[in-house]
Chains A and B, each alone.
Chain A
Amino acid sequence: MIKNKKVKALSIACAVVAGLAVTATANAHPRWIVPSHFTVSKEGGDWLTFDVTASHGTFVFDKPAGSETGQIIMPDGRIQYPSYVTKGKRRSIFDFYFEEEGTHKVRVNNVPSYYTQYKAGRRDTVKWAKAHKAERDQVLPEQARDVITQVSYTRAETYVTVGKPTTKAFELEGKYLELVPVTHPSDIVEGEEVTFQFFYNGEPQQGVTAEITREGTLYRNHQEQLDVVSNEQGMVTFTPDTAGRWLMKANYKGELPDNPLADTASVNVHLTFEAVLQ
């Protein structure tokens, strides 16, 4: 434990020294969504329930992330909203009745947040202001230099399939970082290779980094995460070795040319999926 803290403190110190963007996102607890079931076989449909929280452990409830922005992309592409949204101190929950055949995408995305980093005064201390590009001039001191505005945006998503799997719900919005499950989420099987594809503003993106962890980090000594980086086509491949629920946390830091609100983006996709038994 002590060792971990030291490592963490050291890495933060390094980042500060290097003048890197230690953003709110980098330190924030990753937000994720976990469904009670990923598959519905009941004729006429069934209620499923979802937990939403933000934590450092994989599927350990911690911070009270809300579900107000929750959406269900139906198999035909239209959008529905959760039922019975409740927010507790350590998580929020909602339910939804799944009755249409096909694959649904369930997501709780956040609202883009903008931070401007700058230096001012004689010292080269990096300072932060919660302001986007269009409003930063009113907030920053006149002599501010090395000014960069970054947008942070995180998609927390998962897939639920009723009966026969479909792919319409995978369609891109063309905004920030997005993941297309080339291996269908209902076809992820322990010991079999999985392929996902990443898109940044609608284009396949190389260099997206992702870490993939199996549930239950609280009960093992090491994260045992899989680390992947996307190739030229935006593809990553990995093999979940055991059945269970997994969380993929993907991040990409990119430029935003000609964007009126930000210069750079640090954008995430947090996907929860299950690897089923052979």
Chain B
Amino acid sequence: MSLLEIRDLKVTFGGLDALSGLNFHVDEGEIVSVIGPNGAGKTTFFNAISGLVPPTEGEIDFEGESILGLDPSIVTSLGIARTFQNVRLFPNMTVLENVMVAQHCRTNQLLVGALLQTKAFKKEEREIRERAEEVLGFFGHRLIGYRMDQPAFALSYANRRRLEIARAMATQPRMLLLDEPVAGMNPIETIELTEMIGRLRTEWGFTIVVIEHDMKVVRDVSDRVVVLDHGVPIAQGSYDEVSTDPDVIEAYLGRPVEAAS
């Protein structure tokens, strides 16, 4: 059974089909890339899975259970975490706090614990902090040390993208949805992050779905590639298969001009 299974997904916005007839599955431990020209509906796809946008039709099953129409916070607690295309951190919270708050759905101390400073509360706070440092440590020395207490808005662009991923990791998901993780990064950072995505699978055991435009990344990272165009899947397969598929080329580059005669 696939970890994530999507059948006939359709999302309509004001008369326009952002997604239609989408069938998709991800098996545990896979890294699947979703590519397509701009406006193809890729982020809408993520939004539909994570519950931010209600699908018009179709089914979304995670671990065998339907997650269609569930609130985003419940989807996250069930094990799907995501990053945002236009990095949406909590800008005025520190790096550490960003990652600590992401563990909200995995912890349960309430009002009473905080007020009475019970042992259970203190223990949980410690664990939250430790786990946060562990996640941040994945990115080397960039997000730890004095950086942990800096507000998120003070980070450089690349570090913000990394924090975004760290935050998603902290929700202890089974599946990560990464929306253009290397957008705007320079070549060195891109190479590094590509390698990290691989390590996310091998060291941390996440199943990963990646939206990307950078084909080198797609080639180096994916087990499988799905191509969307105008909300419809037009190709699926390995990177080599897909990159030579004429439909895909046409979607990106347009139909070649017919010879004049």
Q: Tell me, yes or no, whether A binds B.
A: no
